[in-house]
Structure 1
């Protein structure tokens, strides 16, 4: 069937399509993604549809559409092959191309290394960048040791605080604080001590009374009875006393004097023993630690009145001691809690020092491995910095020594000088 103006009969568009020649391989600069391939397929299908529409009008336009479709199909196959083999590139055509490619890659790697080296923080700005390797190692070791000591201190303080908190809680539950318990115990001790001190005072009074009576007997014997022994018979008759009666009186008074002396000795010994026992009760109790200003931890005073006065002072101070002990417990708990915080902060600071120092060591090794030229520059600059620091420290030490020597130097003598040169 032929239409007007056609040389051949009517054909299908597919009859005009031929197998395209194999595409030549060309260097692929970049791999297209799936979106680009899909877009190419859509354009090819649209061209085919336009070619089909054109054959209904003119065979010439049909041939143009067929050729365009063939070109688009060939491009699509090339793009599909490229997408199926990502990163596929042709081998260099010659050794020169290979060397150029290798040199280019080497320049890219070197440029990347230079950029990374430029991004390394300066040794002057790093926390421990100014320290030598030996100094940094010593700092890390000391910081590690300090961290361990701080952690042990924190643990010990925390344990003490825990024990004290438990004791205070138990005292609160029992309704009696440490101060109140001390006062109750001290009051019992003072009761016993005051009883013995009272006994000592009574015995001391008996001793004084016996001594006074003994003295009276001695005076009576010395001044009245014994002189009558020297009287004559008639003088004793006039005095109304016989020799026998006189001897009996002297014996009786002597016996009374001896008995009074024995009683005085016994009373003095009893008073001394009671006084020492009373004070020993104080020394053996917890009062001794609270009344050192009253010599409670020392031997007994020689005077019973002094013992009695000190015991009275102790009893007056008991309420103040109760308040002071309770306040001391609260302060001790706060101090221990503060020590825990202080030790913990110190341990954390030391641990941060260890971590920062070890990071500096790792960075130094990395610089020495990847950037040897930068490592050499930093090493020389760091060595110069350390030498300058030592020199400045030596100068400061000499300046302080010189200033100290000038401060202690004595002024010149202002005494007489030598002989005058004018004479």
Structure 2
């Protein structure tokens, strides 16, 4: 009898929790006449061309029954589903990197973040209550060295670093931000090539890794020889090439991995949603994610859409953008990049970045912690 009572009480608690979650979503919707507000953080990159295309070309997406209506360019949009407004979308440009987007998500200031997999994984490990619900693209970064450096590929650059070290010189390589995908990849590539590195300017090592706090300062730092090289996301590598400041010696998919092979077909940017927002604004978030899915599919039918929208949105030369998008693999499907995402978890464990929920976990546990596959299945449907 006592066991039966315990089971009944447990069921009541579960039912109450489900009802409360439903009430929260209903309350948010009712308070705004059926419309919720979704705040979205993104980066200044053509990796996020799906967002730009969706904003600039609502006419393309009306056939899907989901589209945006512009209120304030690059900032405010209305999201429509079956010709009914369901959300106000507010866009926030975060110039520094995905780590800052994830920090804002953790603070409850953003509902959705468009950012790299490593910062998402790093903050999820810390318990930020966010989940990856879909991917955006893969690859799309490069190592760019100053044009006067006698190296035209990764191995030549490695040899040059070793020569500099013999002469008592330390090579400086800039990256956008700690835990960025570029940060994780350059550390792993240096390790694979037997190059010692440090982030402390007072420590002795072949390479000093420099936090550029975004990518805006990279052209100046290279041209003034404050840095010898950078690892950057597109379109910065093509911008540096077009300015004559540097030359791309290796694209990210060809960088060596410390456990062998290269990073071919590696993931880059994804869509992360806060778990609280998924409960309270689920329909709007899934609908917005579906729009990004459809935009990605349209880009793959016509790559010029990505170049044209990114040129307008980012203010980059059209020829630079047309070159840039060649190096980006647009794909929203988690299964395409899942092996690479799990590879990043391992690499970040090796670098001591995983300290909590993802420390030394199995692949199955990592998937459980990182993804919301229920949301992803809704986006797929």
| Greater share of helix | 1
Question: Rg larger in 1 or in 2?
Answer: 1
Please give the TM-score of this superposition, normalised by the length of structure 2. 0.21
| Greater share of strand | 2
Q: Which structure would you say has the larger RCO, counting Cα contacts within 8 Å and 6 or more residues apart?
A: 2
